[in-house]
Each structure stands twice: as structure tokens, then as C-alpha cells.
Structure 1
């Protein structure tokens, strides 16, 4: 929570997934409740007072201990301060330093009440849900043998085209309008020019010695003609018309809320930068 906490974190490898997350906040009471709930936290104040870091002195300290054998790289650093420029500065530093910084600006927004001791359960649940966003077990990587044909001696004799098609339809977020595929990335579906992305996904499911342009093209042509992935233009951008799609979520100007992205809306338009409504208050 204070400078001694950072020294402790940097000297000891974390035990368990939860302990790898350090929440950087600017409210001392909330920081205390985070720690008492079994999580890691540091409180950053406006000006370094010798006991607590400011954002600048924290960054200076982190730079000073780089390459000194600390456990710096063992952690995920969640920028959860209430001031946008502080979070931006922290995330820029983490990126430049090769550390894993995560945006958490919405996590504690307008939730000063979480600094009260009787709200520890809510703090615990909130942080647990946040961490689960990154720690849910991903779908197992497919066994490539499933997508190939073998002779009696287990030598590969071909590729099972429709097995690859079925796998991609079920496991990749994309759709096709006309003959053009759109793939999902960070809250928006992007046009896949000439199917480059989808062809690469196909290639990754084929044994290297079976990769041929004719094989990839044949599977791709099957893929984009599947009725299940076909969409009409009127089906796109089905989110409420007042919502504005930014890099960090949908902004509802009526309620003033930021909402999480949802691929079900088939959104193909996005303003290419984040928006922080609290900065406009």
C-alpha cells in the first residue's frame, strides 16, 4: 500500500494468480480495503510524502530497480486511479518498460464507498471478477491431427477441409458480407481485405508440410460460403443508435455511462481512440 509494500512485492515472487495483480489506486482507504481483502495494492498520492509514492516517484523507483534481479516482471500492474492522465502515464511507462500494465480506470470509478471496512466483500468480488477477465482458461488449442487424413501407416495423405471450416465457424468471431469477411478485434469488426487474416488462421491449422496455396484457397472458399456466417448489411451495427463506439467501450451520452463491447452487435464502425467521460465533468 505504501513504499514498504512495493519493496515487499519486488523482493518476493507472488504465490498464486491473484497475488500477481497489483492495483494502483489513489485512495488510501480503498487501497487498505484491497489489501485486507487478500489482494495487492499501492496507493499513489499527488505528491510523494516519503511514505507514499506519487505517480512520478513510483515510475522513478520502478526504473531504478529494473535489471537488478527484482520480481518486477512477475506482476500485472492495474492502473486504477481516478485521474485519466495518471493512468495514461502509468500505462505508457509499463509499455515502454516491457511490463504488463492493464487499464482499470472504470474499476473504482465513483466508488469511494469501497473504502469503508464493511464493504470488503464487494471489493473482493469486484477484483475477483476483474482478474477473471484475464485468467479464464482459454479454449484448448486444437490437436492438428484432427484436421488431417492418414493412411494405414499414419502418414499424412491429405487435409480434412470441412473439419477446419467447422472449427473456425465455431471458434472464431467473424462474419461475411457478400464475399468479404470481417474479423473481431477490440470492440469492432474489421474488414479482412482479400481474406488475409482468415487464410492465416486456416494455415495455422494445417501441418507445415501440407501448406499449399491451393489447399488454403480451397478451404477459404468453403469457409466464406457457409450460411451460418453470412450476414446482410442491415444486420450490422445493431447496438442502440445513441451509443458511440470508442476503443475502450460504448459510450451512452444519455446515461453518461461507458459500457463493455459486445460482438453480438456486429459493430463495424469505431472512433479509434478511448473516451473517458469523467474528464468532461
Structure 2
């Protein structure tokens, strides 16, 4: 479930950005006492996400606006399906329309893409996970959308876990040095993950006691060799332009996790419209 209190500030900023000092078009053309009703309609198939956010958008604008969902987050819809109904003061509904759709379309796009990728790896042990390549300020929502689509979350922020990447290794001098320093200075409750690019680095990471090994931009044959060498001594994550690869082939190498930055940084918004009656 999404803790709507965590996203209250995000919604407020989005409304402030869009409304500015006021919705001039609506204020100058629609009587304040006019009521209206409308329907959110799917214009393509997908997995819906963000209904509670949409509801909160309209609640912030006018408490008299009522939204009646016909599906729940995580539910698949087809083109033409009714997602939700809305009714109340026309001024408020029109003012919040764009912001509500922006959230609903983007989050549903992320959950839809996640579900599609999960279908590709179905029958394997691989899990689809996101990255920190999220829209600044929207991470909590976008990672929620990944979960709604059936994926799992990687780190929410830099304090969530230790991920030693290539530049950390260069700065520390070696994988061994970086892992040793992490063991000494970081909380014992955090797992240590290290990014590797070769079999030699895998050997070093295993010897140093890494909990998770990230295979960066490796081909599938090399991944198979890496999984066999690691042999359960650490979790194995495949990473690096995964959104452009055949994920079934990647999953069949035996990796535990496949991290896909494209879930959030280049996802296509789902086509949804709000039609007034």
C-alpha cells in the first residue's frame, strides 16, 4: 500500500506548479456553482497505478469532489475500460484534471512496463528491480508503481545499502580495500554489493566477502560463467542497459536480480483520458 501522507508534499508542489496564481480559463468561463461528472477511460491496455494519488489531488482542490474508482491499483484494464468516475464542482475538477492525469498516466505506465518485463522472465527465478534513475522528487511514487507492477525495489536512497561501483573502487584502490572499509565503518545490518566487469573482479569480490555481486554490462555467455563461478556464494544482479536486452536470455543465465533503469527513466506514460458527461 502507498502511504499517501508521504506524497502529500509532492501533490501540493505539482498543483502549485500547474495552477500558478489561478486557473484563469476555468474561472472566466465556468460558473462557480456548476456541477460536472466525468469518467477516466483507458485508451490502451495496461496496469493501473495511482488512484489514491488522483483522489488526493482533487481532495486538495475541493473537498466536495467525489471520485469513485472502478478498479484498484495493480488491476489490468483493456482499451475502453472504465477506470474511475468523478463528480463535483466543475471548477475544481477542471483545475485538477491535468495534474491528476499526469500522475495516473505516468505511474500506470511504469506499472504496465514492469508487468511486461515480469512476463518475459516468467518461470525463472529472476526478479525485476528498479534503480535510482527516477524523476527527481517522484521516487517514492515511481518505486511504488514498480511494486504495483510486480517488481521489487532496489535502494530508495544512498542510506539504504552499500553499493560499491566502479568509481568507489577506483577511489578506494581496489574491491578488496572498498569492501574491507565498508565492513569496518558501515552498520553490520547493511548488505554489501559490488559492481564488477570481469571474472577477475568477481574472484576478488568473492574473496572479500561481497553479499551481492552486480554484473555490469556483461553478455549472456559471460553471465552464465559468472553465475556458475559465484555458485550461490552471493546474490547475482544483472545490470547495464537491461531495457534494451532480451530479458528472457538474461534470466536464463541464472541471475537472481535484473535491474532496469528504463522502468522509470524512459517509460512511456499510459494513455488515459478524462471524459466529461
TM-score range, shorter chain: under 0.3
| Rg (Cα) greater in structure | 1
Higher relative contact order (CA 8 A, sep 6+): 2
Q: TM-score, normalised by structure 1?
A: 0.22
Length-normalised TM-score, structure 2: 0.22
